[in-house]
Amino acid sequence: MDADLIVIGAGPAGIIAAFTAAREGAKVILLDKNKTIGRKLAITGAGRCNLTNHTDMNGLMENTPGNGRFMYSAFQRLSPEALMDLFQKELGLPLKIERGNRVFPESDKAQDVVGVLYQELKNKGVEVRTATKVAGLLSTSDQIGGVRLDNGKELNSPMVLIATGGLSYPGTGSTGDGYQFARLVGHQVVPLTPSLIPLETREVWVKRLEGLSLINVEVTSFYQGKKLQSEFGEMLFTSFGVSGPIILSLSRKISPFVLEKPDSVSIVIDLKPALSKEDLDLRVQRDFAKSINKIFKNVLDDLLPQKIIPVIIELSGIDPLKPVHQINREERTRLVGLLKSLPLTISRPRPIAEAIVTIGGVNTKEINPKTMESKIVKGLFFAGEVMDVDAYTGGFNLQIAFSTGFVAGMEAVRRVTALCM
């Protein structure tokens, strides 16, 4: 045997699994096809790494729409609190908590997170082999035996962990290899779709607003007219559609629908969520009264960002040169309606390569939630995004990777120990 445990993939899930198992005395080999470990981790949180969310089990469940129940036990074994203790007390990385309970390293450097994890791998004697690509698994009918590398070499081990990540940002190494490894030994892979992804719109006027960020707006999504979800916060217009924090959150539900049926989802943007329709109408009337001799296109400056004014005027159908005192009630009602619900039709999500996470993956029904071991092949474990689990933004996806990696590392050692007795 070359090792007690071979871990495929040095992302957060694989790294924590590797040093957790090594801490328990196991001989561990950690393989990654990249030249360095934690490539994706190093770009998370816009380079700052939102590594978890300082919340309780309810918060975790609410924010894990993709198989949250499956995660329950792993979240209990390594909670956000325990993960923060691990980083601060054991790995020596000071952390801070920001708005929405998001946890970041105090230094604001994702690279520091990768740095302390790498140090721990070294301290615990994990054999880290980078630039080493796994081509397949070695297994008998129901027992794992090791891995085959792409240079043809074989490494033998009674325990193997697949922690190869999802399908997004393939430049970081997450190219979906683990799905194929799992399929070949009999696992089912739940269809893969993008989540936390910018959305393309049917309307082309968005291009004129490219780069415009709206703060404190409320966006609501509808599937065939039925309300899906509402989010309040910040969004951004792009050349192809919409993006920004609340759009990414909404995309979790929207993406599978529009991939199946393009144009079936619409969103409406409430540009003035703090005001009811009636209050906004009064506000517009006051603005008009202040500028009684001005023309329509020159009276919206106090109400809206400059860039969006021409678009709103066009969509309102009101003549931009019309003096405001000539604007009638029906026209004003139309304008207010538009400001309260600016509609857009979602044509499709951006390609999965641009997603923050992947929906779908190795079917969780075939994985023991208490151990992360395959129910099909003994000694084969899964952790992180390769499984059919996903969460919203806020540090929850990294918590999933760390919690499941931790459990897999602990349980793989337990299985090796049992084998030896």
Applying CB under 6 A, which residues contact ligand FAD? 8-14, 31-34, 39-41, 43-45, 49-50, 133-134, 163-165, 168-169, 173-174, 177, 356-357, 384-385, 395-398, 401
Amino acid letter, 62: E
| Smaller CB separation from ligand FAD, 135 or 315 | 135
CA 384, CA 362: separation in Å to the nearest integer?
10
| Smaller CB separation from ligand FAD, 13 or 299 | 13
| Smaller CB separation from ligand FAD, 244 or 284 | 244
Amino acid letter, 94: P
* Shortest distance in whole angstroms from residue 335 CB to ligand FAD: 38
Q: 193 with 65: CB under 8 angstroms? A: no
CA 100, CA 324: separation in Å to the nearest integer?
42
* Shortest distance in whole angstroms from residue 413 CB to ligand FAD: 19
* Shortest distance in whole angstroms from residue 384 CB to ligand FAD: 2
Amino acid letter, 290: K
Q: 134 with 147: CB under 8 angstroms? A: yes
Residue labelled with tokens 């459990």: 407
β-pairing verdict for 380-382 and 159-162:
parallel
| Smaller CB separation from ligand FAD, 110 or 416 | 110
| Smaller CB separation from ligand FAD, 327 or 357 | 357
| Smaller CB separation from ligand FAD, 344 or 394 | 394
Amino acid letter, 172: T
CA 245, CA 82: separation in Å to the nearest integer?
27
* Shortest distance in whole angstroms from residue 207 CB to ligand FAD: 24
β-pairing verdict for 5-8 and 28-31:
parallel
* Shortest distance in whole angstroms from residue 215 CB to ligand FAD: 20
* Shortest distance in whole angstroms from residue 120 CB to ligand FAD: 15
- Radius of gyration in angstroms for the set of CA atoms belonging to the chain, rounded to a whole number: 25
